[in-house]
């Protein structure tokens, strides 16, 4: 299990290749990438700042990954989440789930993202033409997490 919080960009292909090279029992990989959009709620976004809670961020992600591994018959989970200043087009988050078979990897990947969106201590601040604005949490994210 690997959880990383970093400012640097990530290379999903390289991460997947590394996971596969280390475990020949992997028969299935599911991955999710979140990226910065240039428009949110009808306003142009020129910059996105990701704040986090140092000391809690990694442990909160560890707990989510532990829960996914306990619930789903999968082999491993990788989560990489960027922090700092990003611009439209930048990658924000990578979740990779590996398993022997495809049966569980899709659900496990969605589960990790649903709980990352509602429990991991990150906050986004947008730079818009009329000033800065903190992104607000969505009820749909809480609903998505509650269905598990």
Contact between 84 and 92 under an 8 Å Cβ cutoff? The reply is no
Distance from C-alpha of 72 to C-alpha of 8, rounded to nearest angstrom: 30
Nearer to other proteins, 9 or 73 (CB): 9
Residue 3 in contact with residue 58, Cβ under 8 Å? yes
Task: Name the CA dihedral angle for 50, 53, 57, 60, rounded to a multiple of 10 degrees.
Answer: -120
The footprint of other proteins (CB under 8 A) covers 34, 50-53, 55-56, 59-60, 81, 92-93, 113, 116-125, 134-137
Q: Smallest distance from the beta carbon of 12 to other proteins, in angstroms? A: 15
CB of 101 to other proteins, least distance (A): 26
CA dihedral of residues 77, 90, 123, 44 (deg, nearest 10): -150
Shortest Cβ distance from residue 16 to other proteins (Å)? 19
Check if the beta carbon of residue 89 is closer than 8 Å to that of residue 36: yes
CB of 11 to other proteins, least distance (A): 19
The least CB distance from residue 23 to other proteins, in Å, is 26
Please state the separation of Cα 84 from the chain's center in Å: 15
- Which of 38/132 has CB closer to other proteins? 132
By beta-carbon proximity to other proteins, the closer residue of 2 and 57 is 57
Residue 55 or 129: the one with the smaller Cβ distance to other proteins is 55
At residue 71, what are phi and psi to the nearest 5 degrees?
-85, -35
Q: Which is nearer to other proteins, 72 or 122 (CB)?
A: 122
């Amino acid at each position: 299990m690997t959880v990383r919080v970093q400012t640097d960009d990530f290379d999903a292909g390289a991460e997947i290749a590394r996971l596969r090279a280390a475990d020949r029992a992997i028969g299935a990989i599911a991955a999710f990438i979140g990226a910065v959009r240039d428009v949110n709620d009808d306003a142009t976004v020129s910059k996105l700042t990701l704040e986090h809670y140092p000391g809690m961020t990694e442990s909160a992600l560890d707990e989510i990954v532990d829960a996914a591994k306990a619930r789903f018959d999968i082999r491993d989970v990788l989560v990489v989440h960027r922090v700092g200043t990003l611009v439209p087009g930048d990658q924000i988050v990578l979740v990779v789930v590996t398993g022997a078979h495809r049966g569980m990897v899709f659900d496990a990947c969605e589960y990790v993202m649903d709980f990352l969106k509602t429990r991991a201590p990150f906050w986004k601040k947008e730079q818009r033409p009329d000033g800065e604005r903190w992104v607000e949490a969505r009820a749909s994210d809480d609903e998505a997490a509650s269905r598990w």
